[in-house]
Amino acid sequence: MSMVSPDTTQRLRITLRGAVQGVGFRPFVYRLATQLSLTGWVLNSSGGLVVEVEGPGERVREFAKRIEREKPAASVVTARASAWLSPENSASFEIHFSEAGAVKTVNVLPDLATCPDCLKELLDPNNRRFLYPFTNCTHCGPRYTIVFDIPYDRRNTAMRRFELCSKCRYEYDNPLDRRFHAQPNACPVCGPKLDGTIQEAAAAIRDGKIVALKGIGGFQLLVEARQAEAVARLRERKHREEKPFALMMPSLEMAGQYCKISPAEIELLQSRAAPIVLLQPKPGTDIAPNVAHCSPYLGIMLPYSPLHHLLMRECPFPIIATSGNYSDEPIAIGNEEARTRLAEIADHFLMHNRPVVRACDDSVVRLTRGRAGVLRRARGYAPLGIRVKREVPPVLAVGGHLKSTVAIGVGNDIFLSQHIGDLDTLEARHAFERAIDDLCRLYSFQPEAVVCDLHPDYASTQWAEKSGLPVIRVQHHQAHVAACAAENEVEGPYVGVSWDGTGYGLDGAMWGGEFFYVNGDGFNRIQHLRPFQLPGGDTAVRQGWRSAASLLFEVFGSSKDANARNGVPHFSPLLREVGTTDSDLTKIFSMLSRGINVVSTTSVGRLFDAVAAITGLAHENRFEGQAAMLLENEIGAVRTEESYSLRSGNWDPLIREVMGDVETGVDRPLIAARFHNALVEWILEVAATAGLRQVVLSGGVFQNRYLVERAAAKLESAGYQVFTHHSVPPNDGGIALGQIAIESLQG
């Protein structure tokens, strides 16, 4: 700061980057500057928010402090730059029109839940927006799902087709109004309209029918959550066997009747992101058992748009609110598209004429270590950039195959797309391609290279190879730990722990239980789970009993075992109890003994499957991670320091001990706790051997709350710094971030 008299006229330029557009930042700056009698201007640019203020030096400095301290609550400032300029003797403070043409580094704001002021107007009979389902202001409403281009101005959004009436125009042009430059601003006179009525949709839900509702980021399928027959019909039509459904509750009070909710979870439910929050259900409620099936959690969200608020007034009970699609397909976003694609699912449609520019599913969050941990990053979070310490190269990352996301690197920001889904179907792959085109178009981004996974069969890898761009391949598990390190701004050296179900290793085997010594761009694999064979390869991912058969076969012997009969080892009765037959086992043991159609793996995820099968918890995975989820849930209230042996990742003694406990009738919750504790002890062992004080935990296995919290507590009590995911999923939804992070280290 210049050492001059506080009354000397000075001029200061402040540039803010991040989520600073569409949140009322310019009117806030205008009010603050005029309050302090400063002159100058403010505008939105492609690179962020730019302010120039002029006046007595003391007041200019006060402005600089207050703009940081009092900025709009919905804004996220990731970078700030200031420069002193020569005074221009400006006469007033003005809001300038947005400028375009510069490199686009501004964050597009995610869609925001309805604010208290708009909700009050929505329910006020004397307000001109009474019961209007598209009410919004600068503090709330759609953003990412309606914007075509940045800067974020009405002409660049889906609202450009709706001409403002005189009253809305006055609000839009008035810097002192909370709807100043609220791009989706509208009212019943000039704004979008429903095709159908909320009352008709609510009546259909009460009658047990399936309603397709056009929401913020696409269509949702709604059904009464207390009617088991209606839920079963939705499962059958949507082709979704057992994966849990999310619920929308009319109010926080009702959510509290069905679930145990901590203050931190209340804060998440009521946040501007308004995600689905995984909560512990209370016993004995009237929620249909087939809503969550075997899940220990209920995924709960509150109404987050005016349309949802109005619908839930007519439906004062829990409803399922799930993606408007067939399983493994993208969400429908267009009206005619929905009528065609959802015709065999929905009994009733409630649509409107405001276009959805891009599909965006509901985000899923769970409280872990006292903080929010994002498991699916979409509405409310995407596409906020992840700010990293070093400048990243201009590359496109296409992620993995499951829980797909894509990302681009712009300056010091990595922009991660919303959740796209698994790339198993043609429709999903088209959605993946649209997400790439969309993200690059939005930021006028021309990638110089594409970063992909090593796995040759991933749809994302195959797309990269056909893209015409230089291809950079990054190992899956290295990308996992790099993603966690990037979002936590961790620099090496550190121990990276990457555990998941499967990923292509540098040796061509299926990895999934890896430890890395990471320093700079070096990822040295220092330990891993002892390899074992997966009979049938990918088939064993769904049929977890195959992993159990492989490990038991390895530990207790082949068909030459003296206790074997007809080529089936003595432990086969245990596996028959979880649904396999002698015929199945004979075939599997033949494959294992001859080494035919087997794949080597170091996967901790498959180890979970094996222990779940041995203990009789899960014969197969009807959705990804089901067996592991059941094994974690089985622990319940058990707390013990006992653990099985897993020294140096050798599962032989662990399997023997698990088998012994099963045969002697040890309670399954204790077995589950001992198994989880063994994994934690292994992490401690490797950390001690590596001699580093920073430990990064990543990969789908670390969606396990018990495992993460116990590992973190044990490590921190031993003096380690532990880093886990919070804003980016630990599963493959974070892979694209890690791919760019690694490329930036090597660039």
**Predicted confidence (pLDDT) per residue in 612-637, tens digit:** 999 999 988 988 899 999 999 999 99
- The pLDDT, as a whole number, for residue 460 is 98
Per-residue pLDDT reduced to its tens digit, 696-733: 999 999 999 999 999 999 999 999 999 999 999 999 99
Asked whether residue 310 is assigned to any structural domain, the reply reads yes
C-alpha neighbours within 13 Å on the C-beta side of residue 459: 20
Confidence check: pLDDT of 558 > 70: no
Q: What is the DSSP string of 494-536?
A: EEEEEEEEEEE-TTSSEEEEEEEEEETTEEEEEEEPPPEEEET
Q: How many residues does the chain have?
A: 747
CATH code, 250 = 3.90.870.40
- The pLDDT, as a whole number, for residue 100 is 55
- The pLDDT, as a whole number, for residue 509 is 93
State which residues form the domain around 742.
383-487+729-747
Query: Does 455 lie in the same domain as 388?
Result: yes
Task: Please give the Cα distance from 572 to 580 (Å, whole number).
Answer: 9
Range from 75-89, 254-268, 321-335, 719-733 carrying the lowest mean pLDDT: 75-89
3-state SS assignment for residue 29: helix
Q: What percent of the chain has pLDDT over 70?
A: 95
- Give the rounded distance of the alpha carbon of 140 from its chain centre: 21
Query: Does 245 lie in the same domain as 179?
Result: no
CATH code, 448 = 3.30.420.360
Residue in the block written with tokens 């600089």? 64
- The pLDDT, as a whole number, for residue 564 is 44
- CA-closest candidate to residue 677, choices 696, 656, 704, 716: 704
3-state SS assignment for residue 461: helix
Task: Please give the Cα distance from 163 to 357 (Å, whole number).
Answer: 18
- The pLDDT, as a whole number, for residue 452 is 98
Per-residue pLDDT reduced to its tens digit, 134-151: 999 999 999 999 999 877
Asked whether residue 317 is assigned to any structural domain, the reply reads yes
Query: Does 543 lie in the same domain as 667?
Result: yes
Query: Does 669 lie in the same domain as 734?
Result: no
Query: Does 637 lie in the same domain as 716?
Result: yes
Asked whether residue 505 is assigned to any structural domain, the reply reads no
Contacts of 339 (CB under 8 A, 6+ apart): 349
Query: Does 179 lie in the same domain as 64?
Result: no
Confidence check: pLDDT of 579 > 90: no
Confidence check: pLDDT of 578 > 60: no
Asked whether residue 236 is assigned to any structural domain, the reply reads yes
Q: What is the pTM of this model?
A: 0.90
* Number of domains present in the structure of the chain: 5
Asked whether residue 600 is assigned to any structural domain, the reply reads yes
Contacts of 340 (CB under 8 A, 6+ apart): none
Residue in the block written with tokens 């969050």? 365
User: Computed from CA positions of residues 542, 668, 246, 23, in that sequence, does the dihedral angle turn out positive or negative?
Assistant: negative
Asked whether residue 617 is assigned to any structural domain, the reply reads yes
- The pLDDT, as a whole number, for residue 5 is 61
Asked whether residue 15 is assigned to any structural domain, the reply reads yes
Confidence check: pLDDT of 384 > 90: no
Between strands 471-474 and 449-453, the pairing is parallel
Average pLDDT of span 280-291? 96
How deeply is 449 buried, as exposed, middle or buried, from its count of CB atoms within 10 A (0-12, 13-18, 19+)? middle
Range from 20-24, 83-87, 362-366, 419-423 carrying the lowest mean pLDDT: 20-24
User: Computed from CA positions of residues 711, 717, 718, 724, in that sequence, does the dihedral angle turn out positive or negative?
Assistant: positive
Asked whether residue 520 is assigned to any structural domain, the reply reads no
* Residue ranges with strand state E in 31-154: 39-45, 48-56, 76-85, 93-95
- The pLDDT, as a whole number, for residue 561 is 45
Per-residue pLDDT reduced to its tens digit, 410-445: 988 899 999 999 999 999 999 999 999 999 998 889
Range from 145-154, 534-543, 563-572, 691-700 carrying the lowest mean pLDDT: 563-572
- The pLDDT, as a whole number, for residue 2 is 45
Query: Does 647 lie in the same domain as 609?
Result: yes
- The pLDDT, as a whole number, for residue 568 is 45
Query: Does 703 lie in the same domain as 589?
Result: yes
Query: Does 700 lie in the same domain as 601?
Result: yes
Average pLDDT of span 169-190? 93
Query: Does 693 lie in the same domain as 610?
Result: yes
CATH code, 25 = 3.30.70.100
- The pLDDT, as a whole number, for residue 556 is 82
What would you report as the CA-atom Rg of the chain, rounded to the nearest whole angstrom? 28
3-state SS assignment for residue 129: coil
The answer to whether 252 and 269 have CB atoms below 8 angstroms apart is yes
- The pLDDT, as a whole number, for residue 411 is 86
* Residue ranges with strand state E in 529-581: 532-535
Q: Give residue 562's pLDDT band: very low, low, confident or very high (50, 70, 90).
A: very low
DSSP 8-state secondary structure symbol assigned to residue 181 = T
Query: Does 442 lie in the same domain as 353?
Result: no
Per-residue pLDDT reduced to its tens digit, 194-223: 999 999 999 999 999 999 999 999 999 999
330, 364, 398 - which closes a domain:
364
Query: Does 207 lie in the same domain as 308?
Result: yes
